[in-house]
Amino acid sequence: MIVGTTVRRVAIIGGTRIPFARALGVYAEASNQQMLTAALQGLVTKYQLSGERLGDVGGGAVLKHSQDFSLTRESVLDSGLAPQTPAFDLQRACATSLETAIILGLKIAAGQIDSGIACGVDTASDVPIVYPKAYRQLLLQSARGRSLGQRLAPFLKIRPRHFKPQLPAVVEPRTGLSMGQSCELMAQTWKIPRDAQDQLALESHRKAAAAYDEGFYDDLVVEFRGLKQDNNVRRDTTLEKLAKLKPSFDAHGTLTAGNSTPMTDGASAVLLASEEWARARGLPILAYLTYGKAAAVDFVKEEGLLMAPAYAVPRMLADAKLRLQDFDLYEIHEAFEAQVLCTLKAWESPEFCRERLGLNEPLGSIDRGKLNLKGGSVAIGHPFAATGARLLASLAKQLAQRGGGRGLISVCTAGGMGVTAIVERPAQS
C-alpha cells in the first residue's frame, strides 16, 4: 500500500547538529560522511535510539564527492541505529534537509513508516576537484584496454594541460552568475539599501549570541572536533564595523561579507515520527510539521534567482487557509540579508501580489520582532544541505518552550527554487 487508511499527524521529536564552522578552518579535514555521522550519532544518543530500526532516513549534500554516492546510508551504518534502517540521498540545494523532512513527513502521515530522520551536510572545505574531460577520457580508454599495450598507450598522450584541476564554482549554469551576484541584482531591483542589510545582520549576530548565552543551543548542538559553538557568531560586531566592509560582488553594490552568509561546514539532523511511535518510547513531541510547499521561478528571464519563497509561501498559506500574519515565529533563511528584505518587500507590494501572485491585496508585513529569534544563517553559518534541518529543530523547540504557537520556515535555493513549511504546536500539547 502507498497510503494507509487515515492521515496521521507528523510529530517533530527534536534535532541535533554539530557546530557550524567557517570553511577551511576547524573542519578543513572532515568529510561530509564524518560530519553527517556525528550529527546522527548526537541524535541517537539524545533520544536513546541505539540499535533502533527506523522507517527511513533521508539526507544529502550539495558539494558531494562521487565516492559519496550513498552518503546517508553510509552515515547511518556508523550512527548507532540498527543497520536495517534504510536511507536515501536527495539534493535540493539549500533546502535539501527541509525537503527530506517534508518527504518523510508525507510517508509518516500516509502510514508508510512510523519514524524517520531528515538530515543534511555540506563542506565547503573538502570540495570535489575534477580534472579536464580529456584526461578522464584517456584514463577510461586505458581501463578499456585488453592488452598491456592498449592499457599503456593512452598515457603517452598525456600533456601538462591535463593536470590543471577544475574547481567547483557556485554559479548558475544558465546565467554564469554567482548567488551573490544574482542577489545583488535583486537588491537593485527592489531598492534594498545597504544600511537595512547591515542592521539585519547585526541583529542576527546579537540574537545568536544571546541564544547561546541563555542555553538554548545546549541540547541542539553537539561537540565535534573540539568545537562547541558555531564559530561565525560575531559578538563584537557593530553597525560601524559592518559599514566599513567593501562590497563583495559589485564595486558599487550593497552586499558584503558582513551581510551575507559565509562559506560553512556542518551537519544537522531532526527526528520525525507518528504520535504513537513517539509515545510508545516516552519521547517528547515538540511540535508538528503540518504543511510544506516548493516553488520555482524563471530566474533567467523574469524573476530574481532567490525570489521563489515569495511565491511558495502564499501558495502554502492558501493550502492552510492562513494569513501571513497568523504566525508567532518566522524562520527565514538568511542566504543574504538582501534576499530576506526583497522577499518581505515583495509581500508588502500591491503590484507584486496582484501581478505575480494573482492576489487582490498584498500579503502585508510581518512583525520583525518574531523573525529569526535565535539568530539567522548570516551569524550561525550555512552548510547548504544542513540549514533546513537546523531551522526545523530550532523552530520546534521554540514553540515547545512557548507552550504552543505556529511558525513559518522559508528557504531560498539555487536554481531559482524555494521550499517552505509550517510547524505548529497546539497550546494544550
Question: What is the phi-psi region of residue 321: left when phi exceeds 0, alpha when psi lies from -120 to 50, beta otherwise?
Answer: left
Q: Judge whether 412 counts as a catalytic residue.
A: yes
pLDDT at 429: 47
CB 19 within 8 A of CB 266: yes
Find the catalytic residue in 94, 119, 342, 353: 94
> Which residue matches cell numbers 541583529?
203
pLDDT at 428: 72
Integer angstrom CA distances of residue 142 from 147, 149, 165, 390 = 10, 9, 20, 46
Q: Rounded to an integer, what distance in angstroms lies between the CA atom of residue 125 and that of residue 389?
A: 21
> Which residue matches cell numbers 517552505?
420
pLDDT at 196: 98
Find the catalytic residue in 119, 205, 333, 382: 382
CATH at residue 387: 3.40.47.10
Which helix (H) or strand (E) is 347 found in, with range?
helix 337-348
Kindly state whether residue 342 falls inside one of the protein's structural domains.
Answer: yes
Averages of pLDDT over runs of 10 residues in the chain (429 residues) are 79 98 97 98 98 98 94 98 98 98 97 97 94 94 97 96 86 96 98 98 98 98 98 98 98 98 98 98 98 98 98 98 98 98 98 98 98 98 98 98 98 98 89
Kindly state whether residue 254 falls inside one of the protein's structural domains.
Answer: no
Question: What are the beta bridge partners of residue 56?
Answer: 116
Q: Judge whether 65 counts as a catalytic residue.
A: no
pLDDT at 351: 98
Q: Rounded to an integer, what distance in angstroms lies between the CA atom of residue 27 and that of residue 397?
A: 27
pLDDT at 3: 64
- Structural domains counted in the chain: 1
Nearest to 275 by CA among 429, 409, 117, 421: 429
> Which residue matches cell numbers 500574519?
325
Q: What is the DSSP string of 131-150?
A: --HHHHHHHHHHHT-SSHHH
pLDDT at 1: 53
Kindly state whether residue 421 falls inside one of the protein's structural domains.
Answer: yes
Positive/negative CA dihedral, 92, 200, 229, 273: negative
**Alpha-carbon torsion, ordered 367, 372, 376, 382, to 10 deg:** -110
Q: Rounded to an integer, what distance in angstroms lies between the CA atom of residue 304 and that of residue 192?
A: 13
Q: Rounded to an integer, what distance in angstroms lies between the CA atom of residue 118 and that of residue 75?
A: 13
Kindly state whether residue 370 falls inside one of the protein's structural domains.
Answer: yes
Rg (C-alpha) for the chain, rounded Å, is 22
**Residue 43, C-alpha cell as written in the block:** 541524535
Q: Judge whether 342 counts as a catalytic residue.
A: no
Q: Rounded to an integer, what distance in angstroms lies between the CA atom of residue 143 and that of residue 265?
A: 35
Q: Rounded to an integer, what distance in angstroms lies between the CA atom of residue 336 and that of residue 262?
A: 10
pLDDT at 2: 65
Query: Based on the number of CB atoms within 10 Å of its own CB, is 165 exposed (0-12), middle (13-18) or buried (19 or more)?
Result: exposed
Kindly state whether residue 187 falls inside one of the protein's structural domains.
Answer: yes
Q: What angle do CA 295, 296, 297 make, to 5 degrees?
A: 135
Residues spanned by the domain of 340: 179-215+291-425
Kindly state whether residue 6 falls inside one of the protein's structural domains.
Answer: no
